[in-house]
Homo-oligomer: A and B are copies of this chain.
Amino acid sequence: MVQIPNTPPPASPAPRSVPTSADVARLAGVSRATVSYVLNNTSAVRISEPTRRRVHEAAEELGYVPHAAARTLRAGHSRMVLMPAPAVPVGPLYGQFINELQWALGRLDYTVVQHGSVGLHGDEAARAWAELRPVAVLVPGIGLGPEGVAVLKRAGARAVVTVGPARVEGAHALLMDHGSVGHCAGSHLHARGRRRIGVVVPQEPGLEAFSRPRLDGVRRALYGTDASVAELPLAFDERAAAELAARWRELGLDAVFAYNDEYAMLLMCALQDEGIRIPDDTAVVGADDLMIGRLLRPRLSTVHIELPSGRDLADLVDRAVRDPDATPEAHRVLGASVVARDSS
């Protein structure tokens, strides 16, 4: 980092203590109760207009900001919806989903917070989240067990929603079965007459949660047919792709499901460099239906993934919060469908 010469320090010495509602009350010449009534627009209590004005002015002048922790403590609950921040850089698909969700929950007057729980695992993380007493917790992926759910519930979470491959006892579930993505691809390739099918499994850590189910899905689609499946570990790296492509002919595969569109692009380019014709020698299918697939030549066949709308999930959370004793719902929310283009 390159240090840059600093501008001279500002002349105004910062006020050194945080103003509280008592300070506001003092300045406005009223009680703390009145301040609270005014600033919260408490409808059960009528405050005269001049008093309101004085309170507002005092708050403004002091730069008063209420203390969320104090409010939470007193109220016994917060409106915080907590979700762990994703541990791996997440694709545009999922990123978009998270954004929508945040927006929709914001509309419902929840505060969405992503907790950076790096290094913490499973129920250990659950404890850290529970300390914040969120009103609801949204946990993508695996790693949260029934004990974790219980910890959160005991800590006052009125809703725990898991987003992943399997239900967890006591929690609502958004079942995102990535197996169906693989299943889609596998069925498609089989229908196209392919019988020796490779499946790329990324070596990047943190992707197993998706790659395993996708592989299993292909296996499931092909089980009991005359087709076979070969697992192809691959790092997201040109050299690794070239090496894989170099032994392609001896692998004797006539098709490959490449985990997603990015890996598909990587592998497809390597195969083309090797002189493998696509789709004639080998069919390639990606997943996620990203823009790049449309731009490749041949155009990349892919599995389009339909995620639930952020609004729907926000509504689910809201319902769960309002009725915490309802039996947990489970929803299947990952729609997968083949987009057949020219590479398969």
A: residues with CB less than 8 A from B are 1-4, 6-7, 9-10, 14-15, 18-19, 63, 65-70, 72-73, 78, 85, 87-92, 95-96, 98-99, 102-103, 105-106, 111-119, 127-128, 130-133, 150-151, 153-156, 167, 169-170, 174-175, 236, 238, 262, 265-266, 269, 291-292, 294-295, 308, 312, 316, 327-333
A295 and B265 contact, Cβ closer than 8 Å, known pairs A6-B328, A332-B2: yes
* Top 8 A-B pairs, shortest CB-CB distance: A89-B95, A112-B116, A102-B116, A114-B114, A69-B69, A1-B331, A68-B131, A4-B330
Whole-angstrom distance from the CB of A146 to the nearest CB of chain B? 9
Known: A14-B153, A106-B119, A295-B265. A6 touches B332 (CB 8 A): no
Verify B132–A68 contact, CB threshold 8 A: yes
A154 touching B19 in the complex, CB below 8 Å, given contacts A4-B175, A118-B106? yes
Complex copy number for this chain: 2
Are the CB atoms of A269 and B295 closer together than 8 Å? yes
Residue in chain B with minimal CB distance to A93: B89
- In the complex, the answer to whether A95 meets B103 with C-beta atoms within 8 Å is no
| B10 touching A65, Cβ below 8 Å | no
A65 touches B295 (CB 8 A): no
Q: Using Cβ atoms and an 8 Å threshold, which residues of chain B touch A262? A: 291-292
**A-B CB contact pairs (8 Å), 6 listed:** A6-B328, A6-B330, A10-B170, A69-B78, A111-B128, A112-B115
Task: Please determine whether A63 and B154 come into contact, CB atoms closer than 8 angstroms.
Answer: yes
Contact of A65 among B98, B127, B331 (CB under 8 A): B127
Q: Which residues of B contact A18 (CB under 8 A)?
A: 133, 154-156
Query: Which B residues are in CB contact (< 8 Å) with A63?
Result: 150-151, 154
